[in-house]
Chains A and B, each alone.
Chain A
Amino acid sequence: MLEPVMKSLYFWFKGWHYDVGQALCAPMQSVLPASIGPHCPRLFDGFFTTFELVIVALILAFILARTLAQMLAVGPSWTHRLIQAYVYIFQGTPILIQLWLMYYGLAQFEWIRESIAWTLLGSGWWVGLIVLTLNSAAYQTNILIGGIQNLPSGQLEGAQSLGLSQRHTYRQILFPQALRASWPALANEGILLLKASALVSTITVLDLMGHARTVFSRSYDLWVYGGAAFLYIALTAVMTLIAFLIRRYGFQALPADPWFQGMSR
């Protein structure tokens, strides 16, 4: 039941990558060095895979981190220890070990291989997405809770004395302000996650790094890594631009913002 859904989701994601890559590469063939010209569509295929993986993981992680930070800020105290342990474990171990533990480690158990969860855990792409999400959520929780703790304590006191519920205090008073203050740190975390995502190539995902490694293992020509590095830097630039645009147009303008003048609301 679950499997065809997952498969079609996966192919919907992957289907167009190579075609667009070919279309983009065709006019560039005369400029590219002869050694990476034929592999250009493959690299673009990986480019889109990496981009999707990172963006989807970042969005899911953000939703998770928002809830976890809410628990830490206004939630019941028995959750605090649990969340702090989660954050500490995911921040304190290399992401490579998290990937390998989930992909190679869990495969050892018979009952997992026979359960329904195996539709996800048997595929490198989904394991990569899950681990990147969990890892980034730990970092984003830490960033958000840092932002909340740096708010003036009057914000919390004022909201509570106005009779707002815990949930409303967080969602409408604390979180929006903390998000504003910690946006640069969150954008930085996005770029760190982009770089960490190259590691999913070790669990058989053909992302940008995976394609580059496959091509290199056949040709032994370092130019391919140069091409991949160029595309990674381009992805960094794209993500920086997205972060800037969200910051510029996505947030409600406040009088303190430099672009507030002349904006009507």
Chain B
Amino acid sequence: MESLGKLSFGSTGWGDELLIGAVMTVGLALASVLIGIVIGGKLAFFKLQPNRFFRTIAHAITLLFRGTPEFLVILVVFFGLDILFNALLSALSIELTLSTPKFWAGALGLGLIFGVYASEVFKGAYLAVPKGVIEASRALGLSQFQTIRQVHLPLMWRYALPGLMNLWLVLLKDTSLVAVIAFDELLRTAKVAGETEREPFLFFFAAGALYLLMTYVSDHAKSRIENRVALVGRQ
């Protein structure tokens, strides 16, 4: 019972710190999704090009990211930005010690990973839109640009959503990797708390329960959204 008091809110317990960590985790995941959707859209665009050169490059990037651990990608992005930053500062001969913003380094790394997987989802969704719909909108006199903007893309989202929600669930768990570059999200907060209070088991357990809660909520949101908008499985 005494150790449970360490999870309470206020100045004596770590409850509020853990909650802030959880909010940071969700914030990091949301920022990564925004970056990832932009990257994924661009990559999918290149994958759908008739030009062979662009397609090959896009597929090579996908292969590269699929074969390397997420952990390695995040470390390379973080330290790479760090080295780049310092090189830039010394090149401009600015006497300043700036550290790379960990939140954005983490979001960029996670966004890259999300984007690479999302590009496959987008590509599949783009191709899944029935040909007849496109032909019909052309026959109705919409220009090619209008067809893509007003018919193809809105329909595409509905095919892409289930895949994107799966990627979101993976991403939520991958945010824990950013703890290793010492960004204070949920897992890192739990580690610090556990080391301070000498009760790592309790705090890792609490953090695990919070992750489970986030997954649970996302799972439910996923099935609700899919029921609302998805065309898959509906005639």
The interface of chain A, by Cβ under 8 A from chain B, is 88-89, 91-98, 100-101, 104-109, 191, 194-199, 201-202, 209, 212-213, 216, 220, 222, 225, 228-229, 232-233, 236-237
Find out whether the CB atom of B79 lies under 8 angstroms from the CB atom of A93: no
The CA-CA distance from A191 to B67 in the complex, in Å, is 8
The CA-CA distance from A96 to B63 in the complex, in Å, is 24
Find out whether the CB atom of B176 lies under 8 angstroms from the CB atom of A96: yes
Contact of A213 among B75, B173, B175 (CB under 8 A): B75
A-B contact count (CB 8 A): 110
Find out whether the CB atom of A93 lies under 8 angstroms from the CB atom of B83: no
Q: Which segment, of B32-40, B135-143, B155-163, B202-210, faces chain A?
A: B202-210
Measured CB to CB, the nearest residue on chain B to A106 is B201
Measured CB to CB, the nearest residue on chain A to B79 is A222
Contact of B208 among A91, A97, A222 (CB under 8 A): A97
Measured CB to CB, the nearest residue on chain A to B213 is A92
Measured CB to CB, the nearest residue on chain A to B197 is A108
Determine the chain A residues whose CB is within 8 A of the CB of B174 once the complex forms.
94
Offer 12 A-B interface pairs, CB within 8 angstroms, sorted by A.
A94-B177, A94-B187, A96-B180, A97-B208, A104-B191, A104-B200, A195-B71, A197-B69, A198-B70, A228-B72, A229-B67, A232-B67
Find out whether the CB atom of B71 lies under 8 angstroms from the CB atom of A108: no
Q: Which of B187, B207, B208 has the most CB of A within 10 A?
A: B208
B143 to chain A, nearest CB (A): 41
Q: Which of A94, A198, A220 has the most CB of B within 10 A?
A: A94
The CA-CA distance from A91 to B190 in the complex, in Å, is 20
The CA-CA distance from A105 to B224 in the complex, in Å, is 36
Find out whether the CB atom of B83 lies under 8 angstroms from the CB atom of A108: no
Find out whether the CB atom of A222 lies under 8 angstroms from the CB atom of B83: yes
Determine the chain B residues whose CB is within 8 A of the CB of A104 once the complex forms.
191, 194, 200, 204
A54 to chain B, nearest CB (A): 11
Find out whether the CB atom of A222 lies under 8 angstroms from the CB atom of B205: no
| B 170-182 to A, binary, CB cutoff 8 A, 1 in contact else 0 | 0001111101100
A122 to chain B, nearest CB (A): 15
Determine the chain A residues whose CB is within 8 A of the CB of B153 once the complex forms.
none
Measured CB to CB, the nearest residue on chain A to B198 is A108
The CA-CA distance from A92 to B191 in the complex, in Å, is 19
Find out whether the CB atom of B64 lies under 8 angstroms from the CB atom of A97: no
Q: Which of A100, A107, A191, A233 has the most CB of B within 10 A?
A: A100
The CA-CA distance from A212 to B75 in the complex, in Å, is 11
A209 and B72 contact, Cβ closer than 8 Å, known pairs A101-B204, A104-B200, A105-B205: yes
Determine the chain B residues whose CB is within 8 A of the CB of A222 once the complex forms.
76, 79-80, 83
Find out whether the CB atom of B201 lies under 8 angstroms from the CB atom of A108: yes
Determine the chain B residues whose CB is within 8 A of the CB of A237 once the complex forms.
67
A100 and B191 contact, Cβ closer than 8 Å, known pairs A196-B69, A225-B75, A228-B72: yes
